[in-house]
Amino acid sequence: MNLIQKIKEASRPFLIAGPCSAESPEQVMSVAKKLAASGKTQLLRAGIWKPRTRPNSFEGMGDIALPWLVEAGRETGLPVTTEIANRNHTELALKAGVDVLWIGARTTVNPFAIQEIADVLKGVDIPVMIKNPVNPDLDLWIGAFERLEKAGVRDLSAIHRGFSIYKHPKYRNVANWEIPIALRERLPNIPIICDPSHISGNRDLLLEVSQKAMDLNFDGLMIETHPTPEKAWSDAAQQLTPEALNILLNQLVLRTNDSSYLEHKELHDSRMKIAQLDDKLFDFLTERMQLAEKVGLFKREHNITILQQEHWTKSITARLSKSEEYNLSERFIRQFMDAIHQESIRHQTKVMNNRQ
């Protein structure tokens, strides 16, 4: 199958659904039949091998479950996909007749593992989906695509599943939406599927994350679906029943990507004003860095260190305290001020170390 073509031809969202883990032939077949009956699922997923952080937790049924998934796909007419993490997984999935492979976040982070999979797939015509690495590293994600492309794999798609973080108060993995947006800028022909199950870690947040992905014009969704989520052997909290999945899909607001609206006068005028403000903003930043260089010269003359922690802490605290007044998020203010501070340090370092 040509996955890229199917994604482009399908109505948004292109839907990948199925259980986190294949637990039994009956479980896989049951959810597959319900998903097929709804007519909204284009690709049936199930985990065969489950990478777990610590041993002695359920790590999937292994290759004995491959026939369950393939048979469920044949019975319902749905193509099937599963996660691979090494050479052995890849060879077994190909032999079993899995239609689409996906590479998980814990594998994408390891170039050696990606290269091992790429070597197996040389000369094989099969679609591959690549999840973002667990850490927010765009080049590492792109590197996985490049390794597979060099092996001759052309039917490639991306899955955005968020990035690991220690004890986030809301999400299992933070979305960092700017990274998949940057991926689209760098690889514009690669479809992007959002995995709200792993971003949220909580079925109550699935709609919110799914809607954000659709608003950003992502191509599809990968949502974990189980006949009885509360009894699931892995990731029970983030799975939905097929019936609940239908409700979620019906609640999504799908907005147009019609480029003809770009010529609308109201939109055009607003964007022109934004561009003018951006020009002024960069003029101000240029002026600010010129002042930073003067500060650097003073520090050089008086043999003062560049970083003055007390002053910086006072400055950033003052800005953060005005987030509501600015109508800007604290996260944005923090990132913006950090970027300005680092650039200021760069300018001061340049003049302080200029001995001419």
Q: pLDDT digits over 268-278, tens only?
A: 899 999 999 99
Distance (Å) of CA 106 to CA 57, 163, 220, 257: 17, 11, 22, 33
Whether the per-residue pLDDT at 356 is higher than 80: the answer is no
Confidence at residue 7, expressed as pLDDT on a 0 to 100 scale: 96
pLDDT band at 31 (very low <50, low <70, confident <90, very high): very high
What residue segments make up the domains of the chain, in order of their start? 3-257, 260-352
51 confidence band (pLDDT: 50, 70, 90): confident
Sign of the alpha-carbon dihedral angle for 41, 244, 68, 155: positive
Nearest Cα neighbor of 89 from 126, 109, 117 is 117
Distance CA 139, CA 156 (A): 16
| pLDDT the model gives residue 200 | 98
In the predicted model, what is the mean pLDDT of residues 20-44?
98
pLDDT at 300 over 90: yes
C-alpha 165: how far from its chain's center? 14
Residue 154 near residue 187 (C-beta atoms within 8 A): no
Residue 222 is predicted with a pLDDT of 98
Q: Predicted confidence band at 52 (pLDDT cuts at 50, 70, 90)? A: confident
Enumerate residues 6+ apart whose C-beta is below 8 A from 293: 347, 348, 350, 351
Cβ burial, residue 259 (10 Å; 0-12/13-18/19+): exposed
pLDDT at 148: 98
Mean pLDDT, to the nearest integer, of 299-315? 93
Query: Do the two domains 3-257 and 260-352 of this chain adopt the same fold?
Result: no
- Residue with structure tokens 């370092």? 349
Classify domain 3-257 at the CATH topology level: TIM Barrel (3.20.20)
162 pLDDT higher than 90: yes
Helix (H) or strand (E) holding 278: helix 265-301
For domain 260-352, give the CATH superfamily.
Chorismate mutase (1.20.59.10)
